[in-house]
Amino acid sequence: MFTKATVTERGAILLGRSVACDAFDPSKPLRVVTHAHADHMNGLRQSLRNSEKVLMTKATKDLIGVLESTRCLAGGNVETLNYGKTMVYEDEQITFFRADHILGAAQVQVEDAEGFRIVNTGDFRIEDTPVLPADILVMEATYGSPWCRRAFAKEVKNQLVSIVEKGLKHGTVYIFGYHGKLQEVMQILSMKGLEVPFVVPERVFHVSKVCEEHGMNVGSLMLSDTKEGREMLETNSTCVAFHHTSSKNRIHENAFQITVSGWEFNSALHEVGDKEYIIALSDHSDFYELIEYVKQSKPKLVITDGFRAAHAQTLAKEIHKRFEIPAVALPER
């Protein structure tokens, strides 16, 4: 069955006879981008030059246009595929299903003429991700160690809102995270009724607007380089300022700061300094949720993505032990 699915040394997840996900592979005519994070866009320019088609959701295409520029997707045959819609290529059917990760993230199912199903989960959070039955399951393994458990998962959103409200009593609250995660935080705060301006730099603004166009509630946005935005930040006014994690060292030390991270397993909220916190909001499943996906999917073989995760081998061993089915981390290290 390893001839039907594998993960290459360059990170391409190969499904069936026709599909390469999340990296370029010259042996496959179709390239899929499961979502708009950098480690899933490997070799995209090569794919645009050489693949017959490059497939992604419309939301992923729009996010790439903002994060990488619209020129990034020029020169290739890019085709968007909605969730639940099927594209036929020769004797295979390729279908996208929702993955609860960032906007536009997709699971990929390839089914051949005999009804044999290969599924690539991509990155996902099981809460709002449909579990797909599979003969071969290729899955992410970011939190593939039994140590990676969040027993407090249901508390996180309320803790986030509470700590932001606490910070707003003192003025501006700065929130740091990755694109996609920042917009999820905006939606959580907005849905909880927090009515304060969200002050953002230009790139975060454009990513947020794409998310808004695709149905997310990202609140009232204000550009940080406008006169009004600068004044709010300079006077420590009541607002929430969102920044990419890479910008953290540019903010003054006395600011009320919250970093959004998935690598917290002891508590929903961790105080790391005076007015500085980490909130454990992850867009990946923890170990036990990964195991639950396998339990419900009932595959005959599991391949864990070892190109993007250090815990892939551990997860494969645990799956084999618990379900007595073949499981292997690829590529082999």
Q: How far, in whole angstroms, is CA 123 from its chain's centroid?
A: 6
Same domain flag for 9 and 124: yes
Asked whether residue 140 falls in the same domain as residue 204, the answer is: no
| pLDDT of 2 higher than 70 | no
The residue out of 279, 303, 318 marking a domain boundary is 279
pLDDT digits (tens, 9 = 90+) for 116-139: 999 999 999 999 999 999 999 999
**Domain's final residue, options 244, 260, 279:** 279
Q: Quick check: 37 pLDDT over 90?
A: yes
User: Which of the listed residues 263, 279, 295 is the one where a domain comes to its end?
Assistant: 279
Residue 49 and residue 101 share a domain? yes
State residue 3's pLDDT score. Answer: 79
Q: Do 57 and 118 share a domain, yes or no?
A: yes
pLDDT at 297: 98
> What are the strands of the beta sheet with 198-200, ordered from one edge?
221-223, 198-200, 240-244, 173-177, 256-260, 276-279, 269-273
CATH code (residue 291):
3.60.15.10
Instruction: Name the domain count of the chain.
Output: 2
**Per-residue pLDDT at 28 exceeds 90:** yes
Three-class secondary structure of residue 302 per DSSP: strand
Whether residues 10 and 157 fall in one domain: no
Between 247 and 25, whose confidence is greater? 25
Quick one: tokens of 22? 């999340």
Mean pLDDT of 179-203: 95
Q: What is the pLDDT, as a whole number, of residue 250?
A: 72
Instruction: State whether 143 and 289 are in the same domain.
Output: yes
pLDDT of 247 over the 90 cut: no
What burial class does residue 23 get, using C-beta atoms within 10 Å of its C-beta: 0-12 exposed, 13-18 middle, 19+ buried?
buried
For 28-33, what is the mean pLDDT? 98
Of the two residues 248 and 55, the one the predictor is more confident about is: 55
- The verdict on 90 and 178 lying in the same domain is no
Residues 141 and 14 grouped into a single domain: yes
pLDDT over 90 (residue 248): no
Residue 75's domain spans which residues? 5-147+284-330
User: What is the CATH number for 202?
Assistant: 3.40.50.10890
124 and 224 both lie in a single domain = no
3-state DSSP percent of the chain in helix, strand and coil, to 5 = 30, 25, 45
Cα→Cα distances 297→252, 293, 294, 333, Å: 48, 6, 5, 27
Report how far residue 276's alpha carbon sits from residue 223's, in angstroms, rounded to the nearest whole number: 24
**pLDDT band for position 25 (50/70/90)?**
very high
235 lies in the same domain as 259: yes
Instruction: Indicate whether 36 and 133 sit together in one domain.
Output: yes
The whole-number pLDDT of residue 208 equals 97
How far CA 13 is from CA of 46, 61, 67, 183, in Å, comes to 16, 20, 23, 28
Angstrom distance (rounded) from CA 39 to CA 53:
20
Distances (CA, A) of 158 to 67, 246, 268, 281, 284: 30, 26, 9, 11, 19
Per-residue pLDDT for 75 more than 80? Answer: no
What confidence score (pLDDT) does residue 333 get?
76
- Structure tokens given for 7: 């993960």
Residues 141 and 260 reside in one and the same domain: no
What does the pLDDT look like over 152-169, one tens digit per residue? 888 999 999 999 999 999
Q: How far apart are CA 103 and CA 65, in angstroms?
A: 14
- Work out the mean pLDDT of the chain and round it to a whole number: 95
Q: What is the pTM of this model?
A: 0.94
